[in-house]
Amino acid sequence: MEKELRKEIDKWTVKIKEERKKIELVDPDKKDFLKNIDAYISDSAYFLKKAKLIESFEALIWAWAYVTIGKEVGILRNKGLI
């Protein structure tokens, strides 16, 4: 199970980092939104180094939640879109 979870963490870490490069703020007053996404990505790496796999994966889920919600409510968009 541990091996499978590490594999999923690796896979989703790559995906969230790629997604993070593609997004931008619509409202510059909401900078904390991007900071939270970056913090959760960083937290995931920290927990992974400490072999806290569940916490690492959970942090990735939170990062994805922020991205998804941010797009849905209009705080974030893909770069280059008007």
Q: How far apart are CA 76 and CA 73, in angstroms?
A: 8
Residue 59's nearest CA partner among 73, 47, 77, 70 is 47
Angle value at C-alpha 23, between 36 and 64, nearest 5 degrees: 50
Q: What pLDDT, on a 0 to 100 scale, did the predictor assign at position 82? A: 57
Q: What pLDDT, on a 0 to 100 scale, did the predictor assign at position 27? A: 87
Our count of domains for the chain comes to: 1
Q: What pLDDT, on a 0 to 100 scale, did the predictor assign at position 81? A: 64
* Parent domain of 69: 2-78
Residue 27 belongs to a domain with what CATH number?
A: 1.20.1270.90
Q: What pLDDT, on a 0 to 100 scale, did the predictor assign at position 28? A: 86
Q: What pLDDT, on a 0 to 100 scale, did the predictor assign at position 1? A: 85
Percent of the chain with pLDDT strictly greater than 90: 87
User: pLDDT tens digit string along 12-49?
Assistant: 999 999 999 999 999 889 999 999 999 999 999 999 99
> pTM for this one?
0.90
